[in-house]
Amino acid sequence: MRSVGWGILGLGNIAHKFASDLLLVNNTELVAVASSDFKRAKVFSEKYESKRFYDGYSQLLEDDEVEIIYIASLHPQHAKLSIAAMEKGKAVLCEKPLAMNEYEVKKMLTVAHSREVFLMEGLWTRFNPSFEQVQDWISDDTLGAVRYLNATFSFNGLDRGEDSRLFNPEKGGGTLLDIGIYPLFLAYQLLGMPKDIKATAHLTTGGVDQQLAILLTYENAHAILYSSFTHNEDMRATIAGEKGEIYMESRWHETPKISLITPENTISKSFEFNGKGYSYEIEEASQCIREGKKESAKWSLNNSLELMQLMDSIRELCGIHYPSDRN
């Protein structure tokens, strides 16, 4: 199997976690990293053994050995930087959310199609083995028809301050785009597009959601979802079907531990993760590149588009607006 050459753009918190997992994935190589801060690029490069590091992003886009770029900057930069990379013929794995809104996602998809390059949103939970098992229990009908789903994502980020990326609208602040996207993903992936959406939020003075509750109604099911930056809580997910219940243990979006309870049986599974869990999206993207695919069948561009359409609808219901909506 041939090695795939990776680049990383934007070297903050998530880029570190991703790079440490990239080192664990066979037949991949961290070719180059780029940051707006020269020293940050140099230190990062030494720590994760990249061949090269760049001061600023433009040289990374010109590096012939880099096949795919992982975009790890803040949400409002995702669309612009992904498009810049794709325009240079690079494949892109972009952090979630893929962009700020449907308009930006559509622009990205247009470029991906016209340049015929691979593009995928880094919705890493989708590729984790524990989640794959959950999907199998549903697709093989062990759970029966899903009737109810409950998932949350909360932590206390109040001490981060108004200028942090959690709360500053210019930095794409708010729970929905950052963490509420995970419960929404779970409902979307397992139940599809809802018939009806209800949502209510507590907004900050800056206008972003610090607590958000969502109720999705389907033909024969309900999903109750919640996200918050104002408190901690046990993040367990429940998926209840006509034949049993699935529990994804805390924190469900990255859990190796799941169980299935039926009237006859309890099956508990604990998966050995390779690293923190980012290795699975890395394997998926790398394999797609090797096979010349332009998108992942497991988390397609249409999936990302529909997820963003749901987020746009929820924002509309709650009055959550961003400077990027004016573009």
Residues engaged in binding ligand NAP (CB under 6 A): 10-14, 35-37, 40, 72-75, 77, 95-96, 122, 124, 165, 171, 178
Nearest approach in angstroms of CB 182 to ligand NAP is: 9
What residue type is 215 in one-letter code? Answer: L
Q: Which is nearer to ligand NAP, 127 or 226 (CB)?
A: 127
Q: Note whether 43 and 64 are within 8 A (CB).
A: no
Alpha carbon 251 to its chain's center? 15
Q: Which is nearer to ligand NAP, 74 or 317 (CB)?
A: 74
Closest to 6 measured CA to CA, from 83, 84, 63, 73 = 63
| Widest CA span in the chain | 60
Nearest approach in angstroms of CB 244 to ligand NAP is: 29
Q: Which is nearer to ligand NAP, 121 or 295 (CB)?
A: 121
Residue 106 has which token pair?
A: 């559509």
Task: Report the residue closest to ligand NAP, judged by CB.
Answer: 12
Residue 7 has which token pair?
A: 């680049």
Q: Which is nearer to ligand NAP, 75 or 315 (CB)?
A: 75
Nearest approach in angstroms of CB 128 to ligand NAP is: 11
Closest to 183 measured CA to CA, from 228, 219, 225, 145 = 225
What separation, in Å, do the N-terminal and C-terminal C-alpha atoms of the chain show?
Answer: 43
- Collapse the DSSP code of 158 into the 3-class scheme (helix H, G, I; strand E, B; otherwise coil) and give the result: helix
User: What number of helices (H) and strands (E) belong to the chain?
Assistant: 10, 14
Q: Which is nearer to ligand NAP, 57 or 137 (CB)?
A: 57
Residue 59 has which token pair?
A: 């040289």
Nearest approach in angstroms of CB 167 to ligand NAP is: 12
Nearest approach in angstroms of CB 324 to ligand NAP is: 13
Q: Which is nearer to ligand NAP, 53 or 137 (CB)?
A: 53
Q: H-type helices in the chain, by residue range?
A: 13-22, 38-48, 58-62, 75-87, 102-115, 129-139, 175, 181-191, 279-290, 301-318
In terms of Cβ atoms closer than 10 Å to its own Cβ (0-12, 13-18, 19+), residue 319 is: exposed
Nearest approach in angstroms of CB 66 to ligand NAP is: 16
Nearest approach in angstroms of CB 281 to ligand NAP is: 8
Q: Which is nearer to ligand NAP, 11 or 108 (CB)?
A: 11
